[in-house]
Amino acid sequence: MTTTNAITWFEIGTDRPDEAERFYGELFGWEFAEQGAPGRSYRVTGGGAGGEGIGGAIRASDGSTPNYAIFYAQVADVADAVRRAETAGGRVLVPTFTAPSGLTFAHLLDPSGNHFGVFTPPPGR
C-alpha cells in the first residue's frame, strides 16, 4: 500500500453512539457495522455511497472524555509524524500506540488546539 499522507479515516467519539449512528444515518444515508470488542462499540461506515467518501467510525465512550470528531492522515511512520508535528509546534494528545491488530496511531493537537490523528495500517493492508 502506498502511503501519501492522505486523509483516509475519520472518527466520531461519543457517549451517545446510538444517537450519533441514527443522526448520521438519517442525514447522510450512512450505514454502520459493529466491529468493536464486547463492551467497546466501534461502528464502521464507508462514509458515502459508491465509494466516493472516506471511511470512518463512531467510537462509543464512557463519558469520561469530551465527545469529538477527528480526521486521520495515513502516514508511513507514526513516530516520525509525531516528532515532525512537535517540531512544527503541535502537541501529543495520545502517544503512539500499536493495537494488537498491528494498527499504529497517535492523536495530536495542532498549534491552534485542533485535534487530529495519524495512523499506519497493519502490515499487509
Residue with the larger pLDDT of the pair 3 and 66: 66
Domain(s) labelled CATH 3.10.180.10 in the chain stretch across 9-67, 75-124
Q: How far apart are CA 56 and CA 70, in angstroms?
A: 10
Per the CB < 8 A criterion, the answer to whether 119 and 75 are in contact is: yes
Alpha-carbon torsion 53, 58, 59, 63, what sign? positive
Superfamily per CATH, domain 9-67: 2,3-Dihydroxybiphenyl 1,2-Dioxygenase, domain 1 (3.10.180.10)
Residue pLDDT, tens place only, 69-115: 999 999 999 999 999 999 999 999 999 999 999 999 999 999 888 89
36 has a pLDDT exceeding 60: yes
Residue pLDDT, tens place only, 38-52: 667 899 988 665 666
- Structurally, at CATH architecture level, domain 75-124 sits in Roll (3.10)
